[in-house]
Amino acid sequence: MFVKPGGSPAEIAEKLQARRVRIMRVQAVLFVAWQAAFINNLRGLHSPLRTVDHLQLSGFAVWAAALMMLLATGGGWWRSRAVREILDDEVTRAHRASALAWGYWTLALSALGLYLAAQLVTIPAFESAHGLLTLGVLVPTLRFVFLERRSERNG
């Protein structure tokens, strides 16, 4: 699955781009699926946290950071400059800009909702942060995947 594609820089970039979209789509689905498990376990978290809880939460943070890195840089980190430039061409940058704008509005509106809700109910900081992090990673990722797939299909 992760065999390095060969050929000209354009051919390599073409394959990496398709792979990037596939990976991001699968990761987004897994990311959502993991939330279901997390929410089920949330009330069961020990206080103070056990080592296993720390590992689970740190793993989630690393996962979120990796997805953010992939979205921000476009991937192809070990490829030549020529491949990376094609991989991060004008349309890709436009899709990323749109994805990040969606992320911004999602976070801003979610923060607004939390701000208003916090006047009525107590919302633990950790749960707020987790929710914001999840939305802040998931929404831009899904938006980017949607735009990339649409541009492949019919422009």
Partner 1 sequence: MAEATLQNGLKAARTRLGLTQADLAEKVGVTRKTINTVENGVFVPSTVLALRLAQALEMSVEALFWLSGEES
Chain contacts with partner 1 (rule: CB under 8 A): 8, 10-11, 13-14, 17, 85-87, 89-92, 94, 148, 151-152, 154-155
Extract the tokens encoding 87. 């991989």
Q: Measured from the CB of residue 124, what is the shortest distance to partner 1 in angstroms?
A: 43
Cβ 50 to partner 1, closest distance in Å? Answer: 47
Nearest approach in angstroms of CB 104 to partner 1 is: 21
- C-beta neighbour count of 94 within 10 angstroms: 12
Among residues 9 and 136, whose Cβ is nearest to partner 1? 9
The helix (H) or strand (E) run that includes residue 1 is none
Whole-angstrom distance, CA of residue 32 vs CA of residue 36? 7
- Closer to partner 1 at the Cβ: 10 or 123? 10
The smaller minimum CB distance to partner 1, of residues 5 and 136, is found at 5
Q: Is 122 exposed, middle or buried (0-12, 13-18, 19+ CB in 10 A)?
A: exposed
